[in-house]
Amino acid sequence: MEFSLASIADSIDQWLNAHCASWLALTIEFVIVGVLCIGLFAVLGLVLIMMERKVSAYMQLRLGPNRVGPKGMFQTVADTLKLLVKEGLTPAGADKFLFNLAPFVVMIASMLVLAPIAFAKDFVIWDVNIGVLYVSAVSSIGVIGILMAGWASNNKYSLLGAMRSGAQIVSYELSAGLSILTIVIFSQDMSISSIINSQQDGWWIFKGHIPVIISFVIFIIAVTAETNRAPFDLAEAESELTAGFHTEYSGMKFALFFLAEYVNIFIVCAIGATLYLGGWMPLHIGNWEAFNHIMDYIPSSVWFLGKTFFLIFVIMWFRWTFPRLRIDQLLNLEWKYLLPISMFNLLLATLVAIQGWYF
């Protein structure tokens, strides 16, 4: 029998409602969810930074971290402790309030996007019926924190990096949004849980034919750019802008920006896995009853995390394969190529969906 996260959540809810007033039980549940989200962010930061270092080392034929802990597994913990004890400096000419607020805006935006994501079967913070629209809208808030950090730093490198980041994120959001709409057309619903349930007889990447494959490729490229990852890391190009929009940050404020980047990678890959690869849904093939039954034994949370980390690996693979683009090349790629292809693909997906030319 599958280890069920949903049953644990239900039992906690029943116990709290049995021993507390309903408003107090709800408040405690909100606090528990908040603490778990913060804990998840901390763990993700440690795991993904370590994964990044090991993946890059493997691709460059070297060892990577191998001193602190077994096979260097505690290197990221040591780096975190270093950032914790560093002094947080604020430049003399900076807008102190906005300078200190910016890292928290970026992190809060990332935390809000977690709400509609289904981590396992029947295990979701908030199953809102417009989950896809909510994700697209709330994920745009993070750019405000980046612009705030660049402007408030009173540093020309920070401001230039922030403006680049703003242009980049706003541009590539269009292609990412149109790619997501392709799945909405096929599933005929904007609820994350409904999109996952529509993939019971096959993931959309397999049964959606050419429009979904094109949409998936564009989505991966667009979210790589949205998260300021190489080869689209013009916002923090070390050779040009020192460190971009967080040049003036140190200590824990810098750590929040650094953590937000990796958390955002997890979130966009989780959304990609949900829309195209079935989320927590096991791999089912037609009438292969025996095969499908075996696949059902694997816990839904393992399916979700496996697909998500596969996409994270692909995005890391991009970073250590392609050279950095120039800012004009980056914007040309979006406005002259990805956006027109996305618009044509949306029309193609609509035609395929209306005619029923999919499995």
**Does residue 330 contact residue 168 with C-beta atoms inside 8 Å?**
yes
Tokens of 78: 């040591």
State residue 118 phi and psi, 5-degree precision. -90, 110
Is 326 inside a domain boundary? yes
Q: How many domains does the chain have?
A: 1
- The domain of 301 spans 86-355
Residue 14 domain-assigned?
Answer: no
Residue 110 forms part of a structural domain: yes
Q: Which of 84, 68, 75, 86 is nearest to 46 (CA)?
A: 75
Domain presence at residue 214: yes
Residue 180, CA atoms < 13 Å, CB-side half-sphere? 26
**Which amino acid belongs to residue 215?**
S
Length of the chain: 359
Q: Is residue 144 part of a domain?
A: yes
Q: Please list the pLDDT of the chain residue by residue as tens digits (359 residues).
A: 445 777 888 888 889 888 888 889 889 999 999 999 999 998 998 999 999 999 999 998 998 888 888 888 898 899 888 888 888 888 888 888 999 999 999 999 988 999 999 998 888 888 888 989 999 999 888 889 989 988 998 888 888 888 888 888 889 999 999 999 999 999 988 999 999 998 888 889 988 889 999 999 999 999 999 888 878 877 666 666 666 787 888 888 888 888 888 999 999 999 999 999 988 989 887 778 888 888 888 888 899 999 999 999 999 998 888 888 888 888 899 999 999 999 999 999 999 888 887 76
Residue 307 lies in a domain: yes
Nearest of 141, 143, 337 to residue 221 by alpha carbon: 337
In a domain, 171, yes or no: yes
Residue 38 to residues 26, 200, 269, 288, Cα–Cα distance (Å): 19, 32, 19, 41
Backbone dihedral region for residue 70 (phi beyond 0: left; psi -120 to 50: alpha; all else: beta): beta
